[in-house]
Amino acid sequence: MEKKIGIVNRCAPHGSTHAREALDLSLALSAFNESLSLFFMGDGVYQLLAKHQADLILQKDFQPMLQMLELYDVEQIYVCQYSLSVRNISVEQLVIKTTLLSTDEINLHLAKQDQLMSF
């Protein structure tokens, strides 16, 4: 049976390349894995915040690539509700459709994965 893979995004965008690498990996994996889950928690939720202008700091804006997840049938995208509220971010400010989960619910979903990759 196919492995359930979870990609955990915990880094703020642009300050490091982790966010970009995690997204590249997610899109690549989605080609041959249908049970891929993405988790955005901690500072990782900033990756989803709308209106990035990455060109100002000479970085590539990867947000249009987030829209590709839907095209690639990656639908299990989970965001930590607590992380959003601490950062004063509302769900309307996110660029893609996601499922909001409490920290306990995130734990349950993480436990279901066969393999986890953390960025």
User: Residue 14 interacts with another protein (CB under 8 A)?
Assistant: yes
Stretch that binds another protein, among 30-38, 44-52, 67-75, 103-111 (CB under 8 A): 44-52
Rounded Cα distance, 25 and 7, in Å:
9
User: Residue 65 interacts with another protein (CB under 8 A)?
Assistant: no
Which residues neighbour 38 within 8 Å (Cβ) at sequence distance 6 or greater?
6, 7, 9, 26, 69, 74, 76, 77, 78
User: Residue 18 interacts with another protein (CB under 8 A)?
Assistant: no
What separation in angstroms does the CA of 75 have from each of 15, 38, 57, 92, 96? Answer: 27, 9, 31, 18, 10
Q: Name which of 83 and 113 has its Cβ closer to another protein.
A: 83
User: Residue 86 interacts with another protein (CB under 8 A)?
Assistant: yes
How many CB atoms sit inside 10 A of residue 16's CB?
11
User: Residue 71 interacts with another protein (CB under 8 A)?
Assistant: no
User: Residue 56 interacts with another protein (CB under 8 A)?
Assistant: yes
Would you tell me which residues interact with another protein (CB under 8 A)?
10-16, 42-43, 46, 49-57, 59, 86-88
